[in-house]
A = this chain, B = another copy of it.
């Protein structure tokens, strides 16, 4: 094949995970923002935020721009997750989608104003999405739950310092199962990655819990020799 005969379009989409309580139970769980499609194919169905790659922008920039334009979210870093390229994954035209993902804290998640066409959904309980986006979210959940170091997950969802209970609740929210507090404390302490600070939770409790921090600058996005794929966050949307 000559490359001029190639008929493949290149798109980007993003999976943004935030921790939020499930209204019915009050339990914390993983949520993602979705965008309602306003045109065919799949008009009216929910999809991951995304769009086409411009000729003059990098893949990460394209992911950041499309995310910002559709949801007003602007995470500091997007990590590349996977390229989905099955021949039949779109309709009438061949589309290869490079998927990016990020974990964001509650403050950042609140920038995504919900409306008729943008809404947060519990990641484990999604409706039928456009294209193969259910498969993509399932893959992202699997990667998050099985492949990512806990230190990076906790660092993304918690502040600089936190109690062991807060850390355990983050783990429970990601895994969606209860963890034994004593076992959890032993595992974390033997991992050597946490450092107790000299501070405790303020507020006058009798035995206030101690605050911990991570031993070093654990980066959320570790691309090794590639460095950060920083998104074009200075770009202005008109």
**Interface positions of A from 170 to 215, Cβ below 8 Å from B:** none
Number of interface residues of A (CB under 8 A): 36
> Are A6 and B1 in touch, CB under 8 angstroms?
no
Contact of A54 among B1, B80, B96, B226 (CB under 8 A): B1
A interface, over-half SS: mixed
Docked CA distance A83–B53 (Å): 13
Residue A114 at the chain B interface, CB threshold 8 Å = no
Interface residues of A in 1-48 (CB under 8 A from B): 1, 3, 5-10
* Segment among A104-112, A123-131, A137-145 that sits at the interface with chain B: A137-145
Known: A10-B96, A54-B1. A142 touches B225 (CB 8 A): yes
Residues of A within 8 A of B (CB): 1, 3, 5-10, 52-59, 80, 82-83, 85-87, 93-94, 96, 98, 135, 138-139, 142-143, 146, 223-226
